[in-house]
Amino acid sequence: MRRLVGIVLTLAVVAGAALVIWRLWDLYMYEPWTRDARVRANIVNVAPDVAGLVSAVNVIDNQAVKKGDVLFVIERDRFEAAVAQAQALVENKRASLVLARDNARRDEDLARADSSAITQVQVETSRATAAVAAAELDQALAALRTANINLQRTEVRSTVNGFVANLTATVGDYARAGTPIVVVVDSDSFYVDAFFMETKLPRIHVGDRARVQLMAGDVVFDGTVQGMSRGIAELDVDAVGQLANINPNFTWVRLAQRVPVRIALGKVPPGVRLVAGLTATVTIVEDRK
């Protein structure tokens, strides 16, 4: 009897150990959770549309800004002069058009009154001159609109709600058109990129609920699977591409490929400060029905 009890206990221990090993293997290889997740946000590189000296910087580093707030100002003198010049040209072309139309009308009236007093070529020439003057006025008006747009663009505004990050611009810097000098983190765009091993993907579906736990403070909040990447970079194929590049190697062991899964965040708990780049653990809440 004692020997039988020993055999039963041994089998029970082996079965328990096998069950634990199988559960750990399933947890590691197939359960939809990962500690490799990052908080992301859209980063807006704010660049001026016109070039010139920075005459004012209206924000400080890490400041919260609203969409439409003026971040910095390009020196306006040159652009105000350009508007004045374009306005003067418009007035000049408008006067030329009035004169050309008056001449064309007089020539047409003269031709109707006495066809021998003026040639048809002269009538057509004066009519064409008026048409050219009208086109030149339209061109001058377009130049005036461009000058006004450039003047307005000297005030560079935020296009999103967010936070100024890594501010280095100062008064006196020369800003080049199209070259970013202020960065704004879009506060309305935070999401989580969770990198799941490919063996776990069959248990993840768009619309699934997700549990996001930040490493910073162990804060937990809900999210939803928004989408799954349909392509990742292969180092020997897409060496210089735009696809997500996740290195699957860990020392000498080649791990399963990891695929980015985008998690849309739900309501963030009050007082939680999201920062792009924070590390998080993501667990997909599976529907057991």
Q: How confident is the model over 245-278, as pLDDT tens digits?
A: 655 555 455 567 888 999 999 888 888 889 999 9
**pLDDT score recorded for residue 289:** 47
Domain hosting residue 233, numbered range: 32-42+187-285
Confidence grade of residue 80 (pLDDT, cut at 50, 70, 90): very high
pTM attached to this predicted model? 0.76
In a domain, 6, yes or no: no
Cα–Cα distance between 132 and 250 in angstroms, integer?
73
Give the residue from 263, 243, 234 showing the smallest Cα distance to 37. Answer: 263
Among the three residues 153, 177, 202, which one is the final residue of a domain in this structure?
153
Give the CA count within 13 Å in the CB-facing half-sphere of 182.
33
Contact between residue 144 and residue 87 where contact means Cβ atoms under 8 Å apart: yes
CA distance 266 to 24: 30
User: pLDDT of 11-41, one tens digit each?
Assistant: 676 667 666 665 555 556 658 889 889 999 9
Please state at what angle helix 77-113 crosses helix 120-152, rounded to 10 degrees: 160
From 176, 152, 183, select the one nearest 42 (Cα to Cα).
Answer: 183
Residues 194 and 261 in one domain: yes
Separation between Cα atoms, residue 209 and residue 158, nearest integer Å: 33
Mean pLDDT of 179-200: 92
Number of domains in the chain: 2
State the distance between the two ends of the chain, measured CA to CA, in whole angstroms: 45
Q: Give the CATH number, domain containing residue 194.
A: 2.40.30.170
Asked whether residue 162 is domain-assigned, the answer is no
Strand partners, 186: 162
In a domain, 54, yes or no: no
Same domain, 206 and 145: no
Measured distance CA(144)–CA(164) in Å, rounded = 33
